[in-house]
Amino acid sequence: SSGINAEWPLRPGVIIDQEKLAKMQQSVRIGGKGTARRKKKIIHKTAGTDDKKLQTTLKKLQCNNIPGIEEVNIIKDDSTVIHFTNPKVQATVGANTFAISGNAEHKSITDLFPGILNQLVGMSSSLPSKSKPLVDDDEVPALVEDFDEASKTEAV
């Protein structure tokens, strides 16, 4: 007979396990029976590739590492604080861009307030205080001459 028998192997000596073949075909389907096979396997990105992309972007912005920063506190509107301990800080002052990376903790401002207050008190010694004037009145000499009269005589 001229009809094709589906049970007969296409090549002599090769026996195909139909169940195994069906399982393999099902594993690459996108949807159910009758849908097309997917064209390529999708490889999911890891967090490491995102970090590399961030670093290349920061290099394009010419960000420089700022060493010696022990902590960074970002105070939000709802009075919670994003607290970084020993962060990696990179900055481009010209582009007004700062990148802070590291382990962040979300805390309330009341937890961190004593430490922040101590830092502000330490900084206030280098700033001029309101109680002490910048220039003493004793150091400013009193005016001796009348400058209006001197300007009138020069115009003549």
Residue 6 has pLDDT above 60, yes or no: no
Q: How many CB atoms lie within 10 A of CB 90?
A: 20
pLDDT in tens, 28-69: 656 666 677 777 777 776 767 778 888 888 888 888 899 999
Terminal Cα distance for the chain, rounded:
134
Residue 1 has pLDDT above 50, yes or no: no
- Residue 72 CB contacts under 8 Å (≥ 6 apart), including other chains: 83, 84, 87, 89, 100
**CA–CA gap between residue 127 and residue 123 (Å, rounded):** 7
pTM above 0.85, yes or no: no
